[in-house]
Structure 1
Amino acid sequence: MKKLGLLIAGGIAAMVLVSNLGPIVGLAVSAAILYFVFKLFLKAESTMAKIGYGIIGFIALMATASNFPAILGLAAAYVLYLVYKKWNDSSTNVIEEDNDPFANFEKQWAELNRN
């Protein structure tokens, strides 16, 4: 039953991720342009260059903001990663008993000291 829930959640997350691949690429490209324009803006010495880089930076910022649905795609990618991690988790509720006599002694000694 748990695997069925993981399969459904993974399928939905995969569909959301695939449907948002375009905005994710657009967000990455526009954010990279914005980063490089900001670096050039800080290095520019003339006022005209700063105005030009400011205009280009504003356009890149608007392009970045228009790709906001990519955040949903990134969240879906994270959910897909969590589903993958849980799917391959082999230690689901397995409690191993320690047969070491010294470990058992330590547990019993701690219980005696509590009382």
Structure 2
Amino acid sequence: MKKFGLIVAGGIAAIVLLSSIGPMIGLIVSVALLYFIYKKFLKTESTGWKIGLAIIGGIVLIASLHNIPAIIGVAAAYVLYLVYKNWNRNKQVMVKEESDPFINFEKQWNELQK
């Protein structure tokens, strides 16, 4: 039953992640543009060019605010990571129980006592 829950959570997270790839790419591009505009703004000494860069930076900032739903995609990616991590942990626990000779001995001993 736990595997079914992991499959459902992983499926929903995968659908949300795939649907928000566009805003994620847009957010990455707009934040990169903001970074380069800010760096250029600090290096520029001309007042007119600083005003122009501030206007362009404001427009790019509005564009990056438009892509805020990308955070939901990042959360979905994190949920997928947790599902993957828990899925593998369950496999490791099962393998550990099967390969541990003491657990097998205890199971056989309990069967003999019955």
Once the 2 structures are TM-superposed, how far is the Cα of residue 41 of structure 1 from its aligned partner? 0.5
Which amino acid counterpart does residue 67 of structure 2 have in structure 1?
A: N
Which amino acid counterpart does residue 21 of structure 1 have in structure 2?
A: I
Which runs of 5 or more structure 2 residues have no equivalent in the other structure? 101-114
The question of 1:86 aligning with 2:86 is answered: yes
Whole-Å separation in 2 of the counterparts to 1:45 and 1:92: 63
SS at match of 1:45: coil
SS at match of 1:49: helix
TM-score (normalised: structure 1) = 0.78
Q: Which has the higher helix share?
A: 2
After superposition, residues 7-22 of structure 1 pair within 5 angstroms as 7-22=7-22
Which amino acid counterpart does residue 76 of structure 2 have in structure 1?
A: A
Whole-Å separation in 2 of the counterparts to 1:52 and 1:82: 45
Once the 2 structures are TM-superposed, how far is the Cα of residue 49 of structure 1 from its aligned partner? 1.0
Q: Give the equivalent residue in structure 2 for 1:31.
A: 31
Whole-Å separation in 1 of the counterparts to 2:93 and 2:12: 23
Which runs of 5 or more structure 1 residues have no equivalent in the other structure? 97-115
Whole-Å separation in 2 of the counterparts to 1:85 and 1:38: 39
| Residues 71-101 of structure 1 deviation map (CA, whole Å, 9 limit, x = unaligned) | 10110011101111111113449798xxxxx
After superposition, residues 50-65 of structure 1 pair within 5 angstroms as 50-65=50-65
| Residues 47-69 of structure 1 deviation map (CA, whole Å, 9 limit, x = unaligned) | 01110110111011001000011
Q: Give the equivalent residue in structure 1 for 2:6.
A: 6
TM-score (normalised: structure 2) = 0.79
SS at match of 1:61: helix
